[in-house]
Amino acid sequence: MGLRRWLITSISCALLFGLETIAPTQAAEFKPNGPVTIVAPFAAGGTVDQVARELGRGLETVWGVPVLIENKPGAGNILAASAIAQSKPNGQRLLLASTSISVNPSVYKSLPYDTDKDLSAVSYLAASPNVLVVRPKMNIKTLRELLDRAKTSNPPLQYASVGKGSAHHFCMELLQIEANVKLTHIPYKGVSPALAAVLGDEIGIYCSDILGAMEPIKRGQLIPLAVTSNTRVSVLPDVPTMAEAGLPNYNNSGYLGIMAPGETPRNIREAINHDIQVVIKESAFQKRFADLGYDMVGGTADEFASFIKRDIARYREIVKTANIDEE
């Protein structure tokens, strides 16, 4: 066989083999066998619940079946994650995962699930920055003023969080590391009591989700000092980032994403991922997410899996540096 003929034959075979290899991926389609359930790790009516319901409505139009939202709040995503870890790996039950999925392996000595084996990444949805706020009676207007006060305060200033290991908690732990200050953590059991404590002048400092702080900020009940993302937030355009406010290395946005049971086949996860990307790229959907204080991200299942792995390592380092005890 001549060289020219051999090359043509080889290339043709390679192309045919390549087409056969990628065709199943291109044709992958998720066909639910009845209603799909998204398990949300927070109570009904909250910001995360709203995200789940918006996503569910979008996926209903793609799949043609109801998408139900099952709220399993409490224990930092553990109840919700455990429910999914024990579900059939067929794509019918999904987890709306939040930052606690990355935090939990570092703050709990044992979990009822193995994050690596019992859960599998489907899609990154959105970054969820927080906003650092103080009560007006503190007479603090900037992050620099807060840090100066913290360095001279005895006893240390107190801050509220929605619980140990929460994104709100780590927002403040990272602040202490980057600014070299010491604050006292006062954990509450959820968003409502934590916010009520700050609005009621029990506690002066709080790292809040964007939506939860919006109305109190508008009413002058809270003073925003900085957002935790590396870019400004569209619904709080006048509030600087932590870097702009004086902490150049600070960047601590949380996240929301979709996960499935650990043994869910790759083709099912990729098909669901494809449908999610279709929904979240719609302009109306992106605007709704922005109004809730989220920055849409998206991406492949593999990209989300890699992100979670890096994020778990990052939080382990924060826990070690901040000397946070495991539970």
What's the pLDDT at 17? 44
What's the pLDDT at 16? 43
Assess contact for 213 and 228: CB atoms under 8 A. no
Same domain, 136 and 209: yes
Residue 142 identity (one-letter amino acid): T
The boundaries of the domain holding residue 137 are 130-245
Same domain, 72 and 115: yes
Same domain, 139 and 212: yes
Smallest CA-to-CA distance from 133 within 45, 236, 47, 254 is with 236
67 is a domain residue? yes
Q: Which of 245, 262, 297 is the last residue of a domain?
A: 245
198 is a domain residue? yes
234 is a domain residue? yes
Same domain, 213 and 178: yes
27 is a domain residue? no
Q: Which of 196, 225, 245 is the last residue of a domain?
A: 245
100 is a domain residue? yes
CATH code of the domain in which 104 resides: 3.40.190.150
Same domain, 258 and 119: yes
Same domain, 258 and 296: yes
CB contact set of 50 (below 8 Å; sequence gap of 6+): 292
Residue 203 identity (one-letter amino acid): I
Angle subtended by helix axes 283-291 and 47-63, to nearest 10 = 170
Q: How many residues does the chain have?
A: 327
21 is a domain residue? no
161 is a domain residue? yes
7 is a domain residue? no
CATH code of the domain in which 152 resides: 3.40.190.10
- Each residue's pLDDT, cut to its tens digit, for the chain (327 residues) gives 443 444 444 444 444 444 444 444 444 689 899 999 999 988 888 788 888 999 999 999 999 999 999 999 877 789 999 999 999 999 999 999 999 999 999 988 889 999 999 999 999 999 989 999 999 999 999 999 999 999 999 999 999 998 888 888 999 999 999 999 999 999 987 788 899 999 998 899 999 989 889 999 999 999 999 999 989 998 999 999 999 999 999 988 889 999 999 999 999 999 999 999 999 999 888 888 888 888 888 999 999 999 999 999 999 999 999 888 766
Residue with tokens 């957002």: 227
Handedness of CA 268, 270, 276, 282 (dihedral sign): negative
Considering its fold, how many domains does the chain have in total? 2
Same domain, 134 and 238: yes
Q: Which of 192, 225, 245 is the last residue of a domain?
A: 245
Same domain, 134 and 234: yes
Same domain, 124 and 270: yes
Same domain, 314 and 179: no
Same domain, 45 and 107: yes
Same domain, 146 and 284: no
